Amino acid sequence: MSFSHTAKSEICRAMTDSKRRFACLYGIFMFCKYFGEKEIKFRTGCPASSELFESLMKEFFSKEFEVAFDKQKSGEKVSYTHTISDTSAVFEKFNIDHKRDKLNIDLAMKNGLDAFFSGVFLACGSVSNPRKEYHFEFAVYNDALKSELLAMTENFCGVSLRESSRRKLNVLYAKDSESVEELLTMVGATKSAMDVMLIKIDKNDNNYVNRITNCDSANIDKIVSASQKQTDAIKKIIKHGALDTLSSDLREIALLRIDNPEMSLRELGEALEKPIGRSGVNHRMNRLIEIAKDLE
């Protein structure tokens, strides 16, 4: 299973509340493959997304409501397409103007905005395997919706997406690890966001080891050992979901160590928002190590 499908499957499993499920379906419709007066198409390569869509349609529309289903396989790839011909019922249910040049997002459902973003991601989003590259994108068919999604994403999670085009699609994307983490959290794939963070730590550790193997210093072994012990402790804290429970000073030094495994304690202290000395940094690192032990 691809990393993108893993993230979407995580979202689908968590979609249990009725109000959030309604907002999720709204997001799927607004950003699906084709949304027109005569036909609506939701196409996905993720089986969990296909199953969720089928479940949502049964929940919010009558049993007699028809949704054509088609499954196609090309090599190892499978495509699931759900086609709705009776579009008027969908327009009425979600109070949508069917004209694509007049489409706009109803921001009245603020309590379900996170679930709406989940639906948007299931309909037109994807994320690359972070071990290969950091890349998150929305492939949007409608120009007006593209502009709205750009503004909403920046307001909701503070990420400014870049823009490009691909085969008549408006592609909104981010290519740095922090933005990918924020966007995955925004769409409801929090475990996948945590996985990106842990993979980033591993990458930094490996890069650091590769750099220091070419260095000649009597203190290398000591520095590497200390840094490794600290990052291992921080990994345990993240895996237990306890990062956000730390005090602001411990969380700051933990994130700084993750991004800078090669820094000495003195350099870490100088890089803090409110700089402290080597002993102060050492004290905080020891506290993180103690917390990690307690979590075990």
d(CA 84, CA 28): 13
Based on the fold, state whether residues 137 and 26 are members of the same structural domain: yes
Q: End of a domain among 188, 206, 233? A: 188
**Final residue belonging to a domain, choices 172, 188, 204:** 188
Q: Are residues 81 and 18 in the same domain?
A: yes
Q: Residues 180, 233: one domain?
A: no
Q: Within this chain, do residues 30 and 89 fall inside the same structural domain, yes or no? A: yes
List, for the chain, all residue ranges whose pLDDT scores fall below the cut of 50.
none
Helix (H) or strand (E) holding 45: none
205 falls within a domain = no
**Domain assignment of residue 199, yes or no:** no
Q: Which two tokens stand for residue 278?
A: 């080597």
C-alpha–C-alpha distance, residues 195 and 209, integer Å? 21
Domain membership of residue 198 (yes or no) is no
Q: Is residue 7 classed exposed, middle or buried when 0-12, 13-18 and 19+ CB atoms within 10 A define those classes?
A: buried
Upper half-sphere CA count for residue 241 (Cβ side, 13 Å): 3
Nearest to 121 by CA among 21, 189, 52: 189
Q: What is the pLDDT of residue 227?
A: 85
* Inside any domain, residue 203: no
Are residues 146 and 56 both part of a single domain? Answer: yes
Query: Are 145 and 245 contained in the same domain?
Result: no
Residue 173 falls within a domain, yes or no? yes
* pLDDT of 129: 96
Residues 164 and 260 in one domain: no
Q: Is residue 251 part of a domain?
A: yes
Which range marks the domain in which residue 232 is found?
Answer: 215-295
Q: Which residues, at least 6 apart from 135, have a Cβ–Cβ distance to it below 8 Å?
A: 127, 128, 173, 174, 175, 180
Same domain flag for 95 and 147 = yes
C-alpha torsion angle, residues 177, 11, 35, 110 (rounded to 10)? -90
Q: What is the pLDDT of residue 100?
A: 53
**Residue among 249, 248, 212, 250 at smallest CA distance from 234:** 250
109 domain residue, yes or no: yes
pLDDT (0 to 100) of residue 44: 95
Among 188, 207, 228, where does a domain finish?
188
Helix pair angle (18-30, 113-124), 10° resolution: 40
User: What pLDDT is recorded for position 220?
Assistant: 64
**CATH, residue 151:** 3.10.28.10
Residues 264, 158 within the same domain: no
- Counted domains in the chain: 2
Q: Is residue 92 part of a domain?
A: yes
What is the Cα–Cα distance from 268 to 282, expressed in whole angstroms?
A: 10
3-state secondary structure 234-247: HHHHHHCCCHHHCC
Residues 209, 203: Cα–Cα separation, whole Å: 10
87 and 122, same domain (yes or no)? yes
Q: Do 182 and 231 reside in the same domain of the chain?
A: no
- Residues 234-249 have pLDDT tens digits of 999 998 888 889 999 9
Q: Examine the domain organization and report whether 164 and 251 are in the same domain.
A: no
- Residue 212: predicted pLDDT: 61
